[in-house]
Amino acid sequence: MTRAVCPGSFDPVTWGHLDVIGRAARIVDQLVVAVGGNVSKTGLFTAAERVEMVTEQCRQWPNVTVEPLSGLLVDFCRRHEAALIVKGVRARDIGYETQMAHMNAHLTGVDTVFLPAAPQWSYVSSTLVREVAALGGDISGLVPDPVERRVRERIDRS
Ligand code: PNS
pLDDT in tens, 79-113: 999 999 999 999 999 999 999 999 999 999 999 99
Q: What is residue 42's predicted lDDT score, i.e. its pLDDT? A: 74
Residue numbers annotated as active site: 17, 41, 90, 126
Amino acid occupying residue 27 = I
Cis amide linkage into residue 12, ω under 30° from 0: yes
Q: Rounded to an integer, what distance in angstroms lies between the CA atom of residue 65 and that of residue 132?
A: 29
Quote the pLDDT of residue 60. 97
Q: What is the pLDDT of residue 39?
A: 64
CA of residue 150 to ligand 1 center, whole Å:
24
Give the Cβ contact number of residue 114 at 10 Å. Answer: 16
Residue identifier of the C-alpha nearest atom 5 of ligand 1: 8
Residue to probe by mutation, ligand 1, list 5, 6, 9, most atoms within 8 Å of CB: 9
